[in-house]
């Protein structure tokens, strides 16, 4: 696969583009990626596209994705040179066409009602431009504090970026994620907050966060 994006920018007819664009940035997580994709295909909500951004994987990621591409037009694959998790997310953001952009890390999964529950909330509260929260933690419930690694904090007290749902135009206007070493997710949260748009937290724990493995993606949580 080439490094080009094979998906057009936002579709002009608003009725024809999806409610959600789900961005999955992945690197050498072929087996776990299959689980994440199956959880997306099992959603009760059907108005979505998924942009799988392969950050130059050297494993069999593409062969695992291939069976999903032809049967499911909403599944799109982008391969790029290895540049890191945040820049890969930004690639997916730029290629998206949904009204709202959200994320699914390749080692996590969605409860079947995850997207439906968020859509119901957003339709009832159309002023909300940024929705976050509602994760179920599996595995080790603690992570090191970003400011003092000797201190352990509970994951359920952290902001998990996989739960972020952001209006596409807002996210594009902010330039997506900044490529910084620490707290990139909280940096985005602060920029959204400082933009003075309406934002809300949802408690329903339908984003399933796997923290069983020590190599779990490190950029997806922040206090």
Do residues 20 and 110 touch, judged by C-beta distance below 8 A? no
pLDDT of residue 184: 87
Q: Which residues of the chain have pLDDT under 50?
A: 1-12, 218-223
pLDDT of residue 6: 37
pLDDT of residue 213: 66
Domain residue ranges of the chain, discontinuous segments joined by +? 14-222
Angstrom distance (rounded) from CA 163 to CA 202 = 9
Predicted confidence (pLDDT) per residue in 24-74, tens digit: 999 999 999 999 999 999 999 999 999 999 999 999 999 999 999 999 999
The overall pTM is greater than 0.85 = yes
Fold of 14-222: Spore Coat Polysaccharide Biosynthesis Protein SpsA; Chain A (3.90.550)
pLDDT of residue 5: 35
pLDDT of residue 15: 65
């Amino acid at each position: 696969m080439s490094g080009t994006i094979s998906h057009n920018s936002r579709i002009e007819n608003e009725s024809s583009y999806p409610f959600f664009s789900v961005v999955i940035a992945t690197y050498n997580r072929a087996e776990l990626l299959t689980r994440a994709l199956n959880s997306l295909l099992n959603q009760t909500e059907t108005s979505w596209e998924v942009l799988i951004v392969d950050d130059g994987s050297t494993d069999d990621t593409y062969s695992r994705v291939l069976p999903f591409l032809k049967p499911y037009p909403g599944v799109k694959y982008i391969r790029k040179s290895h540049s890191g998790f945040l820049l890969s997310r930004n690639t997916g953001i730029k290629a998206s066409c949904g009204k709202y952009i959200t994320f699914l890390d390749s080692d996590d999964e969605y409860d079947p009602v995850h997207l439906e529950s968020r859509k119901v909330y957003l339709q009832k509260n159309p002023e909300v431009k940024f929705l976050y929260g509602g994760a179920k933690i599996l595995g080790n419930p603690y992570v090191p504090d970003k400011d003092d690694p000797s201190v352990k904090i509970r994951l359920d007290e952290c902001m998990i970026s996989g739960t972020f749902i952001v209006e596409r135009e807002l996210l594009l206007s902010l330039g997506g994620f900044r490529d910084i070493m620490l707290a990139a997710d909280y940096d985005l949260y602060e920029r959204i907050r400082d933009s003075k748009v309406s934002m809300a937290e949802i408690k329903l724990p339908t984003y399933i966060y796997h923290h069983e493995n020590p190599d779990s993606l490190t950029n997806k949580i922040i206090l």
